[in-house]
Structure 1
Amino acid sequence: MKKIIGILIFILSFSTFQPVMAQTPDYEKYGKIAIAVVQENYPAEEVTDYEYKGRKQLANDIVEDDFLFLVAEGGKEFNVLVKIKHSLANKKLLNLTVEESK
C-alpha cells in the first residue's frame, strides 16, 4: 500500500498542471459600457438589478448584446434595456440604444 501511495506521489509531482483560469465573457466590455450609460442617465436612481439577456447575430461580424437593468425611482421600479451593436472583427461599438419601460 505504501508503494502505491509513493508511486502516485512521484507521478503527481512530475506531472504538469495548468491552473484553471476563469474566462471573462466576451460581452464584459460592453456590459461595463451599459452600466456606465445607465448610471449616467439615472444618477439619482438606484440600479437594483442587472442581467445579460443575450446576443443576436445581425450580420457576419455584427452582433447586438442586450442588457436589462432594474432601476428604482421614488419607490417604483422600471426596466431599462440597453442594446449595444458592435463588430466582432474590430471590436468596435457601432450603436447603443437605451429603452425605458415603466
Structure 2
Amino acid sequence: MKKIIGLLIFILSLSTFQQVLAQQPDYEKYGKIAIVVVQANHPAEEVTDYEYKGRKQLTKDEVEDDFLFLVAENGKEFNVLVKIKHNLANNKLLNLTVEESK
C-alpha cells in the first residue's frame, strides 16, 4: 500500500513539473538569440538591461517579438532594439533586425 501511495505521489509530482516547464514563455528561445546577437555586435561593451517589449501578430502564423537592450559604451548608455520575426507553426526564425539609438 505504501508503494502505491508513493508511486501516485511521484506521478503527480512529475505532472506538476511538466506543467511548470510548459508555462515557460514561448519567446524565451528568441530572447536568447537576441542576447547573443547584441553581445556579438558589442563584445567590449556591457549589456546592462534587457526587456521583452511584446509581440505583434503579423499573419496567422507569423509574429514579431521585440527585445530592448541597454548597452553601456565609454560611460554612455544607448538602446538596442532587436526585432525577431518567426513562424509559430514551425518554430523557424524568419528575420532578425537590430536597431541602435545612440
Task: State the TM-score, normalized to the length of structure 2.
Answer: 0.81
Q: Which residue of 2 is the match for residue 64 of structure 1?
A: 64
Other structure's SS at 1:31 match: helix
Other structure's SS at 2:25 match: coil
Q: Which residue of 2 is the match for residue 53 of structure 1?
A: 53
Structure 1 unmatched ranges of 5 or more: 1-12
User: Once the two structures are aligned, what percentage of the paired residues are identical?
Assistant: 78
Given residue 89 of structure 1, which amino acid in structure 2 is its aligned partner?
Answer: A
CA distance in 2, matches of 1:58, 1:31: 18
Count how many residue pairs are aligned between Structure 1 and Structure 2.
Answer: 90
Given residue 64 of structure 2, which amino acid in structure 1 is its aligned partner?
Answer: E
The reply on whether 1:42 has 2:42 as its aligned counterpart is yes
Other structure's SS at 1:37 match: helix
Q: Could you say which structure has the larger radius of gyration?
A: 1
Structure 2 unmatched ranges of 5 or more: none
Other structure's SS at 1:24 match: coil
User: Which structure 1 residue ranges, 4+ long, deviate > 6 Å from structure 2?
Assistant: none
Mean alpha-carbon deviation: is it higher for 74-83 or for 19-28? 19-28
CA distance in 1, matches of 2:70, 2:28: 19
- Specify which structure has the higher proportion of helix: 2
Aligned Cα RMSD in Å?
1.5
Counterparts of 1:3-18 in structure 2 under 5 Å? 17-18=12-13
Q: Which residue of 1 is the match for residue 90 of structure 2?
A: 90
